[in-house]
Structure formats: structure tokens, C-alpha cells
Amino acid sequence: MSAPDPTGPGTADAGPLPPAHLRDGDGPLRLTRDGPLAVLTMDSPPVNVFDLPMWAAWADAVDWLTEHPPRALLVRSGGRIVSSGVDVEVFAALEDDEAEEFWESRLRITRALERLPCPTVFAAHSLTLTAAFELALACDLIVATASARFGLVERRIGFTPSMGGTQRLAERAGPGRARELVMTGDLYRGSVLADWGVVNALFEPKTFHEDAHAYARRLAEGPTRAHGATKEVVRAWLSGGVDAADAALPGIAARVTRSADHRRGVAGFLAHGPEHDTVYTGE
């Protein structure tokens, strides 16, 4: 089930506007704002296939978001299907001597999305295959319907996921589960991936888009610097374990200590207790 994008150009808050081809919906992606929340919608009917124009739009979007980071990002899809995956014509046209550079440039999109300093949420209400699933795994959090289906099905053309999905799935679910999903090429329900720890929250189909939007908006209204610090600590742990995270943590915590939102949060807690309604501004 799909629902209209709850955002639009008129809801953007003060600040620079995205490029016209992203803002106006002329291409396969649409980038809008709902106050502090940026919403990136795949809108290339009928199945949001990853062809060269889709990848080019994604590259432009992550470049712009890197230069103008919001306080949170929601990635969603218009239409019945999140994405049917990569256009097989891309593989047919790819020359052997171009393959390494080609896939390096696709992986650059994944890494740029992953490195955004704000919380990122991928919302999957239905079928989510290959490149779209790999980009979902680059987001901080994934929300889905229980019946949504996910797959890295590249084995069907004798290939392997090449936008970083295998290793990111292994981070979330373990290497055995990653090998299982990729080597079988089977489809897995959102409910199963929630049990694996890959999907973070399940929402009902009837209200999925509204619930996913509210989930991401809550993060956007939170203490942005603290959220960014959490991402830094997790990245440090992923790169070097507990010792690496411990080494990085004092400096990260010191930066958060100097943030205005931290000072507001402390003052609000002292004045009104843990249920204080302090408004965070991202500073």
C-alpha cells in the first residue's frame, strides 16, 4: 500500500534549496523538507528500477545532502514497489575494463549516504531488491511492514551484491546470515529481518508512510549533535572494536558537551525532570 508523500516544496524550512531536478520531481528522485527532516523519495514508476538516471540522481542527492546535512533523513518510495532492483540492461552494456570503476562509483553513493552526520531512516513498505536494499543497509535504521520482502538476488545473473550490501548485512545479522541471504538469493519478509536485527521497527501497512515519517521526524527533532556522536562511536567500534571506540569517545563526548542542545537538555532536566519538553535546535 502506498500513500502520498506528506511533504512538498512548500514545507521546506529556511535554508538552501536542493537542485531543481531533485526539488521539482522531474527525475527519478524527489528531495523535499518537512522542517528539520529531509525526505528523499524514489519516484520512477512503475518499479523504481536502478538504471543510470536513478544512480545519477542518487549521486546528486547524496552530494547535496553532504554539503547541506539535514537533522535527519527519511528515504522512502512512491508507488506499489520500493524497488525491483538494478536494470539488467546495465550489466549487459558494461564492458569488462569498465567494471571496477563503475562499481567503485556506485559504492561511493552507499558510503556517502552512510557517512551523513544525521540519523538516516529507510522505509520499506513492499518489495525491496538489490541496490535499494543495499542503500537501506547503509542507513542507520530500517523500518518496514511485516510483509515487505527483501532480497539480494544477484545470483540470478551470476553476480554478487556490489554496493556494499553483503558486508553491511553481515554487520547487522552476522556473516552466516549474510552468506545465507546472498547465496540462496531468496526473499525474506520484514518480520524475519526484524528477528535478525536488520529491520528496526515494523509498522502496519495502512498507516505505514505516516508512521515512518513520524519515526524519522522524531529523530530530526532530537539532539542532533548527540545523534551524530552516536554514529561516530558506532563507526569507531566497527573499525576497531571496543578499544577503538573507547579511544575516540572522550573527544566525541567533549564536543557534545559544548553543544547548545546539551546545555538546554541539562537545564530542562534539572528544572522539570526527565519528561521535560525542551526544544532542541540542532546546535
Q: 180: burial class by Cβ within 10 Å (0-12, 13-18, 19+)?
A: middle
Summarised one tens digit per residue, pLDDT across range 144-186 is: 999 999 999 999 999 999 999 999 999 999 999 999 999 999 9
Q: What is the pLDDT of residue 5?
A: 41
The domain 9-220 having CATH identifier 3.10.20.30: the answer here is no
Q: What is the pLDDT of residue 259?
A: 95
Rounded Cα distance between 161 and 95, Å, is 18
Q: What is the pLDDT of residue 10?
A: 32
Q: How confident is the model at residue 2 (pLDDT cuts 50, 70, 90)?
A: very low
* Mean pLDDT to the nearest integer, 211-236: 97
Task: Judge whether residue 75 has pLDDT over 70.
Answer: yes
Q: What is the pLDDT of residue 214?
A: 98
Q: What phi and psi, each to the nearest 5 degrees, are found at residue 192?
A: -70, -45
The pTM is what?
0.93
Would you state the cell numbers that stand for residue 189, as one nine-digit string? Answer: 519478509
- Strand arrangement of the beta sheet that strand 120-124 belongs to: 29-34, 37-42, 72-77, 120-124, 141-144, 201-202
Q: How confident is the model at residue 88 (pLDDT cuts 50, 70, 90)?
A: very high
Q: Where are the domains of the chain?
A: 9-220, 224-272
